[in-house]
């Protein structure tokens, strides 16, 4: 990378002015013979107005923001579609995924635009002009009307896409490139634009000729900063939609690949390159992502995570093979993938351990590898370990956490020891949510029930242990949870239950009139 590329940013602005109508045309197919005007309407101020329109509607003199009633008066045969802002945003996000093939720094420019930071990467595509043409042609083949421009700042590039698309402005030439554009091209607030016109400042050059302090005093610092960025005098950084990975390796193909064998071989070679790059800095990968770019613009990304830093390419191959085999929606190559990218979005420094003589370390490695493989196949959130919590509330005493991230903590966790020759204090099976039971009568004020009905079956109580009183954490619950009295109960058939009374008699449970009411009973678990 040259020194100039480090000092000067290059931003490609992409604008899709007809994104809503282009999306509908791609979804439903061609709308008529191409001469039938079609528009997308949206509700504004309790009235339907034009949100987007095609070329045929534009030739008739229709414009964005025009009321639908006026548009129908001008063209009775107008085809009208309702706006779907969510679907438009999803389409823009898909286009951003497609643009990731050119640079990993892609930012959204709502509602219908994107920013691409192409600093230092344009030479990979034959220069800025070739990159711009490649991108525009790729989106045009997908059925989108697109406008693009390149400049040293995002504001200048965005202004150019709305006025003179296809322009590439050299560093330092931003002010001259937009000098003759109207002030409305800056995209400032309508009140500011109107104020500039009333002051006789009709073009950007007119505004730039005034002293910055004068512009700031009249129209505010925000507009003054916007103007400075448009003129190439500094620029606010764009906000990429995805964080930049720590390491990226990719492979481009002159002829697209489509077979599983070629995909596996490509991933294997990329894994070797990625491991070699990380090894130079003593790092291993914890989160890996493989992105497959199809020739039609569709991008498919697959991610795997590991419990420990990965330093071997064979492990990466195995994890992605497990992940690909377990996909509910198989990887469809379509007409083929013309690029495959492997990135490590999370890495850690590898801590060297004594492995030759310590069998415990080998056991831990094998267990971590097994968990990684299972997680790659069924999902990391489904492989959990249980950690003890410092609380006496039964349902909160154990935390289920992803095994990949908490394996070491689970191995080092200390659980309460069971007293010798004593029955267990907690049931073998604890319900996630206590289930209500019906108790016709019980010994008051804090005695056990004599019988109860659970899941439509009656149980006669023959043995009881308890009560064990558990008060809720008042400093966390705001007093909303009631005191519980737990009993270990055995019925006539030998079944053992862990049940509790939720609330104290004549102390915590009251009816609507404020009078004491009988508390409710629940079964919370079953003993072996």
Q: Which residue has the higher pLDDT, 402 or 357?
A: 402
Residue 2: predicted pLDDT? 38
Residue 35: predicted pLDDT? 62
Find, among 176, 139, 136, the residue nearest to 156 by Cα: 176
Instruction: Please say whether the dihedral angle defined by the alpha carbons of residues 377, 381, 382 and 385, taken in this order, is positive or negative.
Output: positive
What is the pLDDT confidence band of residue 332, given thresholds at 50, 70 and 90? confident
Task: Please report, rounded to a whole number, the percentage of residues in the chain having pLDDT higher than 90.
Answer: 49
Examine the pLDDT at 28 and tell me if it is beyond 90: no
- Compute CA distances 332 → 293, 303, 327, 343, whole Å: 11, 16, 11, 21
Mean pLDDT, range 485-512, rounded to an integer? 85
- Compute CA distances 362 → 77, 195, 353, 358, whole Å: 75, 73, 10, 7
Q: pTM, whole model, 2 decimals?
A: 0.74
Q: Where in 143-282 does DSSP place strands (E)? A: 147-151, 247-257
Q: Mean pLDDT lowest for which of 153-157, 258-262, 442-446, 510-514?
A: 510-514
Q: Mean pLDDT lowest for which of 21-35, 137-151, 183-197, 314-328?
A: 21-35
CA 311/CA 293 separation, integer angstroms:
26
Residue 400: predicted pLDDT? 84
Examine the pLDDT at 181 and tell me if it is beyond 60: yes
Residues 261-287 have pLDDT tens digits of 999 999 999 999 999 999 999 999 999
Mean pLDDT, range 122-138, rounded to an integer? 93
Examine the pLDDT at 334 and tell me if it is beyond 70: yes
Mean pLDDT, range 176-186, rounded to an integer? 92
Q: Which residue has the higher pLDDT, 34 or 341?
A: 341
Examine the pLDDT at 105 and tell me if it is beyond 60: yes
Average pLDDT along the chain:
86
Mean pLDDT, range 406-427, rounded to an integer? 77
Examine the pLDDT at 33 and tell me if it is beyond 70: no
Phi (first) and psi of residue 383, to 5 degrees: -110, 110
What is the pLDDT confidence band of residue 4, given thresholds at 50, 70 and 90? very low
Residues 65-104 have pLDDT tens digits of 999 999 999 988 899 999 999 999 999 999 999 999 999 9
CA 496/CA 193 separation, integer angstroms:
78
Span between the terminal Cα atoms of the chain, in Å? 68
Angle between helices 19-28 and 85-99 in degrees, nearest 10: 90
Examine the pLDDT at 360 and tell me if it is beyond 80: no
What is the pLDDT confidence band of residue 356, given thresholds at 50, 70 and 90? low
Mean pLDDT, range 487-508, rounded to an integer? 88
What is the pLDDT confidence band of residue 212, given thresholds at 50, 70 and 90? confident
Examine the pLDDT at 511 and tell me if it is beyond 60: yes
Examine the pLDDT at 337 and tell me if it is beyond 90: yes
């Amino acid at each position: 990378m040259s020194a100039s590329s480090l000092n000067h940013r290059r931003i490609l602005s992409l604008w899709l002015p007809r994104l809503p109508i282009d999306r509908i045309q791609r979804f439903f197919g061609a709308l008529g013979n191409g001469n039938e005007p079609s528009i997308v309407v949206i509700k504004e101020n309790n009235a339907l107005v034009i949100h987007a329109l095609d070329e045929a509607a534009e030739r008739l003199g229709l414009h964005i923001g025009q009321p639908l009633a006026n548009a129908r008066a001008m063209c009775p045969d107008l085809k009208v579609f309702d706006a779907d802002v969510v679907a438009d945003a999803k389409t823009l996000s898909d286009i951003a995924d497609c643009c990731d093939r050119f640079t990993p720094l892609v930012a959204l420019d709502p509602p219908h635009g994107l920013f691409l930071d192409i600093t230092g990467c344009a030479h990979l595509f034959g220069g800025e002009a070739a990159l711009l043409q490649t991108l525009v042609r790729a989106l045009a083949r997908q059925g989108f009307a697109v406008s693009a421009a390149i400049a040293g700042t995002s504001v200048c590039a965005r202004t150019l896409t709305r006025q003179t698309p296809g322009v590439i402005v050299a560093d330092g030439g931003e002010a001259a490139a937009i000098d003759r554009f109207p002030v409305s091209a800056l995209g400032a607030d309508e009140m500011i634009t109107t104020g500039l016109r009333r002051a006789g400042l009709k073009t950007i050059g007119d505004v730039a000729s005034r002293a910055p302090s004068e512009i700031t005093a009249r129209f505010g610092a925000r507009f003054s900063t916007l103007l400075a960025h448009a003129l190439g005098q500094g620029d606010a950084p764009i906000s990429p939609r995805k964080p930049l990975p720590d390491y990226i390796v990719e492979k481009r193909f002159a002829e697209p690949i489509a077979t599983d064998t070629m995909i596996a071989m490509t991933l294997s070679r990329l894994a070797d390159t990625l491991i070699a790059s990380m090894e130079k800095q003593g790092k291993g990968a914890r989160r890996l992502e493989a992105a497959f770019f199809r020739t039609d613009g569709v991008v498919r990304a697959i991610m795997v995570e590991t419990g420990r830093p990965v330093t071997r390419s064979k492990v990466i191959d195995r994890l992605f093979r497990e992940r690909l085999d377990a996909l509910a929606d198989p990887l469809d190559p379509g007409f083929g993938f013309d690029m495959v990218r492997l990135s490590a979005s999370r890495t850690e420094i590898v801590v060297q351990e004594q492995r030759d003589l310590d069998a415990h370390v080998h056991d831990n490695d094998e267990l971590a590898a097994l968990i990684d493989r299972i997680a790659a196949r069924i999902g990391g959130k489904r492989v959990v370990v249980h950690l003890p919590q410092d609380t006496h509330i039964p349902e909160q005493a154990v935390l289920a956490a992803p095994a990949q991230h908490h394996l070491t903590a689970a191995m080092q966790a200390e659980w309460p020891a069971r007293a010798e020759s004593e029955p267990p204090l907690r049931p073998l099976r604890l319900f996630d949510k206590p289930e209500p039971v019906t108790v016709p009568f019980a010994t008051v004020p804090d005695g056990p029930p004599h019988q109860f009905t659970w899941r439509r079956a009656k149980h006669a109580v023959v043995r009881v242990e308890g009560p064990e009183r558990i008060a809720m954490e008042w400093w966390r619950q705001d007093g909303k949870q009631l005191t519980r009295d737990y009993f270990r109960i055995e019925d006539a058939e030998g079944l053992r239950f862990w049940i509790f009374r939720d609330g104290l008699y004549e102390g915590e449970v009251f009816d609507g009139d404020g009078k004491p009411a009988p508390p409710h009973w629940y079964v919370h678990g079953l003993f072996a």
